[in-house]
Amino acid sequence: MFQVAAHPTSFDSHKHGHGHRSSHSSSQHYHQQPAVSSSVQLPRTLARPPFADISREALTAASPELANVPSEYIRRRLRDTAPQMMAGIASLAPSHLPSTLPRSHLPSSLSIPIRSQSSHSTQPSYPTHILAIAPSKPSSSHSADALTIVPTHALVLASQCALLPRFPASSSANPGSPQIQLPVIPVSLPSPAAFQLLHPFLYTHNLGALLASLLPMPQGFVQAPGFGGDHVKHVLGSGQKLHELSVYLCQVSHSLSALTSHAAHIKELWQDCVALGIYDVELWDAMDLAWEVVLGAMNLAARQ
């Protein structure tokens, strides 16, 4: 099983050039202290790991024809093909794709029927592997023997996750084939549940959808036309806007316990990103935004 670390090292924004903390100090007066509940103590900031480029070996194993193509170009092109890849995942017959598999009886591969596609649907690009994800530290909420099953495309992971090793070769489904044979890859991550939120983002890079999966936010905020990295940076630089989002979150969450749960989800996503070696600047900014908002809401709730 591929085991990856759960704890980040410190991030040097001056050295690596994609930190933002020094550029939005105006936000800090709303969130001076880390929020604390009776059972959870949270860090003031989510430390970013040092930058590391993706593995060319893993990338070449996923797609040999891209061996000499710049990684940034590959990532941009993959965003254009995200609808086809998501359609390929959706085409797997759910009745033959379990949500979990027992670690003690994990097959080396799965044969999964492919659902028939409408002639007007997006031509699917079928997944190449199936991840069987175990928690790094099993808890009462997740059985140590139950592995979370996630069909994926090796190229999507290899182009964005610097700390994943190369995956074994996978045969593509033949056109018109009624089923596909996918290798099963055991992986250990801090939070299998958080990876299920992260995985769609690696295809779509939809920051609004990611934020909405982490926290209740005003619909008009995350669905604003053109919502993206620049918008996130702007809000991070505005103490007033952060405060408004924290007030909203505090009002709709109703309890410090609910806010603590939101914070735990963000922290788990952060740990998975570190463990996988994901260095998408906009993703890290979005996590920082969610973290600032939830800490502010917890501090507001604690004073009520």
In a domain, residue 12? The reply is: no
Are 9 and 270 in contact by the 8 Å Cβ rule? The answer is: no
What is the residue-averaged pLDDT of the chain? Answer: 84
In this structure, the answer to whether residues 180 and 230 fall within a common structural domain is: no
With respect to residue 97, please indicate whether it lies within any of the assigned structural domains: yes
What's the pLDDT tens digit per position in 119-167?
546 788 999 999 999 999 876 556 668 899 999 999 999 999 999 989 9
For residues 173 and 123, the answer to whether their CB atoms sit within 8 Å is: no
Question: Quick check: is 197 in a domain?
Answer: no
Q: Where are the alpha helices (DSSP H) in the chain?
A: 13-16, 56-62, 71-80, 82-90, 154-158, 192-204, 207-214, 219-222, 229-236, 239-253, 256-276, 281-303
**Running DSSP on this structure, what letter comes out for residue 92?**
B
Mean pLDDT over 103-109 rounds to: 91
- Based on the fold, state whether residues 75 and 182 are members of the same structural domain: yes
Distance of CA 13 to the CA centre of its chain: 21
| DSSP-derived 3-state class of residue 280 | coil
Are 276 and 164 contacting, i.e. CB atoms less than 8 angstroms apart? yes
Averaged over 81-96, what is the pLDDT?
Answer: 92
Tens digits of residue pLDDT in 272-303? 999 999 999 999 999 999 999 999 999 999 88
Q: Are residues 58 and 185 in the same domain?
A: yes
The DSSP 8-state label assigned to residue 159 in this structure reads T
Among the residue ranges 14-23, 84-93, 199-208, 248-257, the one predicted with the least confidence is 14-23
The two tokens of residue 268 are: 């788990």
Who wins on pLDDT, 40 or 271? 271
Instruction: State the pLDDT confidence band at 57, using cuts at 50, 70 and 90.
Output: very high
pLDDT of amino acid 75: 92
Evaluate whether residue 195 is within a structural domain. Answer: no
Task: Show the 3-state SS of 172-224.
Answer: CCCCCCCEEEEEEEEEEECCHHHHHHHHHHHHHCCHHHHHHHHCCCCHHHHCC
pLDDT of 268 over the 90 cut: yes
In this structure, the answer to whether residues 148 and 79 fall within a common structural domain is yes
Q: Is 285 inside a domain boundary?
A: yes
In a domain, 13, yes or no: no
Same domain for 221 and 292: yes
DSSP secondary structure code for residue 105 in this structure: G
Residues β-bridged to residue 146? 102
Phi/psi region, residue 209 (left: phi>0; alpha: psi -120 to 50; beta: rest), is: alpha
Task: For residues 40 and 66, state if they share a domain.
Answer: no
* C-alpha span between 200 and 145 (Å, rounded): 25
Which residue range forms the structural domain that includes residue 128? 54-190
Residues 265 and 244 in one domain: yes
pLDDT at position 303:
85
User: Which of these, 203, 229, 235, 201, lies nearest to 217 by C-alpha position?
Assistant: 235
Q: Is residue 4 part of a domain?
A: no
- For tokens 């099993």, name the residue: 138
The whole model's pTM is what? 0.84
Mean pLDDT, range 256-260, rounded to an integer: 93
* 68: in domain: yes
Q: Are residues 95 and 155 in the same domain?
A: yes
- 146 and 220 both lie in a single domain: no
Using the predicted structure, report yes or no on whether residue 23 has a pLDDT greater than 70: no
CA 50 to the chain's CA centroid = 18
Strands 146-152 and 109-113: unpaired
Closest CA to 62 of 131, 159, 182: 159
Is the distance from CB of 297 to CB of 250 less than 8 angstroms? yes
The answer on 97 and 40 residing in a single domain is no
Residue 254: pLDDT band by 50, 70, 90 thresholds? confident
Backbone φ and ψ of 206, nearest 5°: -90, 100
Residue that finishes a domain, picked among 155, 190, 225: 190
Number of domains in the chain: 2
157 shares a domain with 179: yes
Indicate whether 41 and 61 sit together in one domain.
Answer: no
Evaluate whether 187 touches 116 at the Cβ level (below 8 Å). Answer: no
